[in-house]
Amino acid sequence: MRVEDLDTPALTIDLDVLEKNIRELADACRQLNIPLRVHTKTHKIPQIAHMQIKAGAIGIACQKLGEAEAMVAAGIEDILIPYNIVGARKVERLIRLCRQACITVALDSEITARGISDLAGEACEVKTLVELDTGGKRCGVQSPEAALELASTIVKLPGLKFMGIMTYPSRPEAKPFLDRTRELLAQAGIPIHTVSGGGTGSEAVSAQIGCTETRIGSSVFEGLHRINRDSNPPNPQTCVERMVVTVVSTPTPDRIITDGGQKTFTSYPPIPYGYIMECPGAEIYGMSVEHGHIDISKCQRNFRIGDRLSVVPQHQGMTTNLHDRVFAVRNGIVEGVWRVAGRGKVR
């Protein structure tokens, strides 16, 4: 099957670009001597996760239990869930996963820790990291002293195994917080096996501030350097995805309409919504639910109903989450059809 044979809208992945991105990040982390844990929330596709592990990743990170369940079902054996698991239903699922694979979870409160411990008991040992808020202002304990207090509680609770600490994002300003936490835990006789840093483009900083692993996600679709979506269009040399759409209307000489709108690309701003491979001068200036609105006033070519366009989405990760499957393509040939197994797994 060729790309031309696909019904549209069709989300395709350029295998040459994908393999390059995976290889370059793995090589960069090896050069920095920082173990790589790839974050699969960007792609949610087991085949890509296996490619990343084969290239050298020590394991994966999944933001939600549902994603982790999909990856374990696909044979992934080492998963970090850097997210507070709250509620009996979720904890029961977590314990089932821990019996199938090596699962580690992050948490930032005694309530969350006890919630897991109460159900795990002596029958299961859940590996845990204490999350630190080193400036991200999201989750995380607020001081090294609070980290010590929580870690001291965890080591006493049945069903839990304290493995270390986690921060997001990795940045130089985090080092004093990390260093003091390590110092306090060492004084208390609590060993740290893992210091998990993360954030796309932060592999060098993770190494500099003493992390034992770095969690990287978006680079698999965007390349080593994160796209500045507020000022730069997607770069087809580093961006993996191509959304194939069809022109369904040519209402005016300077405007065409395609069959891919917000439900195809997401409504993620800013404008333009993507880079059109066949005519870089064309601009997707707006989207309604099922229509893409494209300004072609700067293009020299004439567009006709039935023409097909290949668009690099502005936010590839959010776009992927809208689709059941993607088509893996090399030189115009469809080499595989991959299910987006983690799609919609928000629980």
pLDDT tens, 40-62?
999 999 999 999 999 999 999 99
What is the C-alpha separation between 118 and 127, in angstroms, rounded? 14
pLDDT tens, 105-131?
999 999 999 999 999 988 789 999 999
pLDDT for residue 200: 84
Identify whether the C-beta of residue 15 lies closer than 8 Å to the C-beta of residue 37.
Answer: no
pLDDT tens, 164-198?
999 999 999 999 999 999 999 999 999 999 999 99
Average pLDDT over every residue of 81-95: 97
pLDDT tens, 273-292?
889 999 989 999 999 999 99
DSSP 160-200: EEEEEEEESS--GGGHHHHHHHHHHHHHTT----EEEEE-T
Confidence label for 267 from pLDDT (cuts 50, 70 and 90): confident
Residue 270: is it exposed, middle or buried by C-beta count within 10 angstroms (0-12/13-18/19+)?
A: exposed
pLDDT at 12 over 80: yes
Architecture in CATH for domain 3-11+227-339: Beta Barrel (2.40)
Q: What 8-state DSSP symbol labels residue 125?
A: -
pLDDT at 229 over 70: no
Peptide bond into 270 cis (omega under 30): yes
pLDDT for residue 332: 96
* 34-222: CATH superfamily: Alanine racemase (3.20.20.10)
- In one-letter notation, the amino acid at residue 288 is S
For the chain, the domains span: 3-11+227-339, 34-222
pLDDT for residue 227: 46
CA distances from 301 to 83, 235, 282, 298, 307 (A): 49, 22, 10, 9, 12
Supply the mean pLDDT for the chain: 94
